[in-house]
Amino acid sequence: MKSAGKRGQFTESHSAGVRGERNGQQDPHQVNGRKEARRPIRFGLSSEEVPLNWNTWIRQIHRWLSIAFTATVVANFVAMALGEPPAWVVYSPLLPLFLLLLTGLYLFVLPYAAKWRSG
């Protein structure tokens, strides 16, 4: 027996006589006559390797850079509270800040570039 599921797709019940077909096509989640469970894609927690695209890499780098920038700013304030900090401590937030600027501008331009490419 088939019933309407999300977005008009048909889902199958577990009653007898179900052949794993949907609209006359073979169900892509059925292997050797058995229904396979859909597994969510997890990054870093799965044994399966998932290829990441360029935009995902930039987003992930941007997130880690924000953590590094925050840590260097906190270290800067701690060093200032303890006395006169060395110059490398004072200027240490600038590298992550510059890289955050580059990745942030890239992420900002992405939707506009997609709209421009599509027409």
The more confident residue out of 107 and 119 is 107
**Residue 78 one-letter amino acid:** V
Q: pLDDT band for 17, please (50, 70, 90 cuts).
A: very low
Q: Which helix (H) or strand (E) holds 7?
A: none
Residue 92 carries which DSSP code?
T
What is the pTM (predicted TM-score) of this model?
0.56
**pLDDT (tens digit per residue) in 58-105:** 999 999 999 999 999 999 999 999 999 999 999 999 999 999 999 999
* Average pLDDT score over the chain: 78
Among 70, 64, 62, CA closest to 93: 70
Domain ranges of the chain: 2-35, 54-118
Distance, in Å, from the CA atom of 96 to the CA atom of 89, rounded to the nearest integer, reads 13
**Residue 20 one-letter amino acid:** G
